[in-house]
Amino acid sequence: MSPSTLPRRPSYLELRGPIPPRVYITAGLSLLLLVFAAWWLITGQGWVSPIFLPAPAAVWDELWRQVREGILWEDARASIYRITVGWLLSTLFAVPIGILMGNFRFFEGLFEPLIDLVRYMPAVAFVPLTILWLGVGDSQKFAILFIGTFFQQVLMIMDNVKTVPYTLIQVGYTFGLSKWETLFRVILPAALPGIWDTFRITLGWAWTYLVVAELVAANVGLGYRIMRAQRFLQTESIILGILVIGFLGLVTDYLFKGSYRLLFPWVERGHER
């Protein structure tokens, strides 16, 4: 409620105030259009050389060329496959280890120093090592995506588990549940929405590590296409690759957001200020 009882002109800039969905969506789309218009204007007026920034039309043509020749589909398929496997591998380890760390101080003490140490190491620096260890196949790409994702993901899952109020655990105990029953029937269902959100965020990070993973020793993939275009100064191909990665990342993000609402209809929404 506004402090005044008189009807007022609705303001879209109240602290945490609600705004119509129409305004919310229009604002976001407008900014996207504005950026695009600026791009179109700058290149159309010849203010920058196409070597540095090609026109939208050039990128569009490049898109059609890649679609026609089947390159785009092949690259996207290879990259999606690598990201899916790399991220799933990370998740496969991060979920159980994160749950153990969030629930048992022993496992937190055991794993955290190691994880914190590796977490700050740049994933790019592991490229030569992973090639040495795993060769130039897909398993090397999985390894880079794993290194880039796992060490953050596991800590986030630990935090998701820790946000479950201790009183919920105590309630489980007073109903006669054992330690493990409490873990599986109280803590995990309570932590699941947070873990699902962690999945969404870390999958986004996996997309950002794609180019690193396909930096060397690749002959297909969206990241590879960008690196190759760099060598031949095909700026329109670079921009296309970036846009496609951004678009695919956005789609996965929305898939997770949509499924979150379906899976957890009981979650209290934070919009009530």
Partner 1 sequence: MNAKLVAEHVGKTFRQRHRWVTAIADLNLYVVENEFVSLLGPSGCGKSTFLMMAAGLDFPTSGRLLFNGSEITGPSIERGMVFQSYTLFPWLTVAENIRFALQKRSLPRSRQDELVAESVRRVGLEGFEQAYPAQLSGGMRQRVAIARALVYRPQMLLMDEPFGALDAQTRLLMQELLLRVWESARTTVLFVTHDVDEAILLSDRVYVMTARPGTIKAEVTIDLPRPRTAATESTPRYVELRRLILEQIHIEAQRAFTSMAS
Cα 89 from Cα 139, distance rounded (Å)? 11
Q: Which is nearer to partner 1, 69 or 181 (CB)?
A: 181
- How many separate helices (H) and strands (E) can be counted in the chain? 12, 0
Cα 190 from Cα 108, distance rounded (Å)? 20
Site for partner 1 in 225-264 (CB under 8 A): 264
For position 265 contacting partner 1 by CB under 8 A, the verdict is: yes
Residue 14 half-sphere exposure, CB side, CA atoms within 13 Å?
13
| Exposure string for 224-256, b = 16+ CB within 10 A, e = fewer | bbbbbbeeeebbbbbbbbeebbeebbeebeeeb
As measured in angstroms, the least distance from the Cβ of 196 to partner 1 is 12
For position 168 contacting partner 1 by CB under 8 A, the verdict is: yes
The one segment of 105-113, 124-132, 136-144, 186-194 that binds partner 1 by CB under 8 A: 186-194
Q: Which is nearer to partner 1, 136 or 171 (CB)?
A: 171
The two structure tokens encoding residue 176: 């006669």
Pick from 19, 33, 121, 171 the residue near partner 1 by CB under 8 A.
171
Cα 31 from Cα 24, distance rounded (Å)? 11
Pick from 46, 113, 176, 270 the residue near partner 1 by CB under 8 A.
176
Task: Read off the DSSP letter of residue 2.
Answer: -
Pick from 167, 180, 270, 273 the residue near partner 1 by CB under 8 A.
167
The one segment of 7-15, 78-86, 169-177, 210-218 that binds partner 1 by CB under 8 A: 169-177
The residues that touch partner 1, with contacts defined as CB under 8 A, are: 165, 167-168, 170-171, 173-177, 186, 189-190, 192, 264-268
